[in-house]
Amino acid sequence: MDKFLIKGGTPLHGKIAISGAKNSALPCLAATLLSAKTVTLHNVPYVRDLITQRRLLEDLGATTLTPDVHTHKITAAHIESFEAPYELVKTMRASVLALGPLLGRFGKAKVSLPGGCAIGTRPIDLHLRAFEKLGAVVSLESGDVVAKAPKGRLVGSELDFEKVTVTGTENVMMAAVLAEGTTVIHNAACEPEIPDLADLLNKMGAKVSGAGTPKITIEGVEALGEAEHWIIPDRIETGTFIVAAAITNGELEITSCRPDHLGAVIDMLREVGVEIDQPDPTTLHVRNSNAGLRSKDITTEPYPLFPTDMQAQYMALMTQAEGTSVVTETIFENRFMHASELIRMGADIEIHGNQATVKGKVRLKGAPVLASDLRASASLVLAGLCAEGETLIDRVYHIDRGYETIVRKISSIGGNIERLKDHMSTAAPETSG
Ligand code: EPZ
């Protein structure tokens, strides 16, 4: 497995362009299954999860062309299979996003029940119950979810998610766009990836309204057609680079981003002393205030509040702030794995249930550490860039899933990081277009 070797202590300076959002590209790629015509997606991030998602579409029978690594032309005219196998689903939970479109367009789908992952059990019970509300018959057969629309077509209905679920909302939206009649989703997720998916679906001919609010209304149509769509920038990559500037006491210009998609993160980072200016709608200018960083408590919540995907990066930053902060994780049951690795680097963090108490102003020292999940890996990279000495991060395939050419990007702004390649690895190369 590849490793990252990071020599810390150099402030990052320069300009960094944000890639397309992994968590928007994944449902948007799945949505191409809803049409027999060509759907062109631009600004798709060149990361492992999207390579996997594209392979899934090909396994199902779709034709995929990539004129460049960020552009995918998908034509799902001849779908021959309606199954997402375990071998694939176990490598990427987001394959469950094939359920909604396959069920919505073909009235049948069989997807391996995704296992849990490092951050939690990650059930999909809410997805399945929502499909049943739309008239599907859902059963579990030897580890596979088997879903069928008895009359061949789902029937619109009113449903209310008992918990906010991002991919659950996306799955139901994709199942409902071709259903007979109208579907109303209450307590829908409001993350920016939801309106982005709705934009694509409406370009394809769907009738989705209210996306981005807790109530989404979908009028079923007979068929969807072709479309062209640009994936929104990745708000979590943006937040990660804001923290990178702050934790290394550097100064960055972050371009091609959408600051309006990470308001809670920007507000909180300004409160702890990061100077963040927005010279134009897609650019941020970031540096530490001379007064240094102050500790502030955070609690992760669904959008528009502080996102769980920024919790690990924020925790790394709080090791450098004046005072003590309490980080409360309310979304996933096991999302503090980065804490034990940060402690190996000298951080002073105590975990009690879903709360981590972080003592600030600690000198981090480089050490060999282990990545456990995508965002935990990001926090170890940030800590390594700040620490004195060398940090060796193992299992960096986790980070390759969701950060495009991160070594190239960090090196381009002065970070001392190199990838120690394990020649068996299948990481997306660092040479995207
Ligand atoms: C999406 O995961 C993101 N992934 C996650 O990003 C993100 O952390 C998460 O939303 C929360 O924002 C993608 O979009 C591909 P949920 P998702 O369904 O949809 C429980 C990253 O780092 N739940 O909103 O799987 C669930 O256990 C990844 O990019 C049920 O109980 O998350 C969790 O506690 C990590 N039953 C909570 O709801 C269900 O059927 C929120 O999960 C579904 C979810």
**Ligand 1 within 6 A of 126 CB?**
yes
Q: Which residues contact 288 (CB under 8 A, 6 or more apart)?
A: 245, 246, 249, 250, 273, 274, 275
Is the CB of 26 inside a 6 Å radius of any atom of ligand 1?
A: yes
**Residues forming CATH 3.65.10.10 domain(s) in the chain:** 3-19+233-420, 22-230
Active-site residue flag, 190: no
pLDDT tens digits, residue range 345-394?
999 999 999 999 999 999 999 999 999 999 999 999 999 999 999 999 99
Nearest CA to ligand 1 atom 16: 165
User: Is residue 312 in contact with ligand 1, taking CB distance under 6 Å?
Assistant: no
Fold (CATH) for 3-19+233-420: UDP-n-acetylglucosamine1-carboxyvinyl-transferase; Chain (3.65.10)
Contact in structure between 224 and 31 (CB atoms under 8 Å):
no
CA distances from 228 to 29, 50, 101, 203, 220 (A): 12, 18, 18, 8, 21
pLDDT tens series, the chain, 433 aa? 899 999 999 999 999 999 999 999 999 999 999 999 999 999 999 999 999 999 999 999 999 999 999 999 999 999 999 999 888 888 888 999 999 999 999 999 999 988 777 788 788 999 999 999 999 999 999 889 999 999 899 999 999 999 999 999 999 999 999 999 999 999 999 999 999 999 999 999 999 999 999 999 999 999 999 999 999 999 999 999 999 999 999 999 999 999 999 999 999 999 999 999 999 999 999 998 888 999 999 999 999 999 999 999 999 999 999 999 999 999 999 899 999 999 999 999 999 999 999 999 999 999 999 999 999 999 999 999 999 999 999 999 999 999 999 999 999 999 999 999 987 665 565 644 3
- Distance CA(202)–CA(204), nearest Å, equals 5
CA of 332 to the centre of ligand 1 (A): 8
Say what the pTM is.
Answer: 0.96
Could you report the per-residue pLDDT of 278-331, keeping only the tens digit for each?
Answer: 999 999 999 988 889 999 999 999 999 999 999 999 999 999 999 999 999 999
Cα–Cα dist 375/220, whole Å: 37
Task: At 402, list the tokens.
Answer: 């969701």
Name the architecture of domain 22-230: Alpha-beta prism (3.65)
Please indicate whether residue 21, judged by its CB atom, sits closer than 6 Å to ligand 1: no
The two beta strands, 368-370 and 416-420, are unpaired
* Probe residue for ligand 1, chosen from 172, 331, 401 as the CB with the greatest number of ligand atoms within 8 Å: 331
Length of the chain: 433
User: Is 383 buried (19+), middle (13-18) or exposed (0-12) by CB count in 10 A?
Assistant: buried
Q: Which of 74, 71, 27 is nearest to 49 (CA)?
A: 27
Please report the atom of ligand 1 found closest to the CA of residue 307: 12
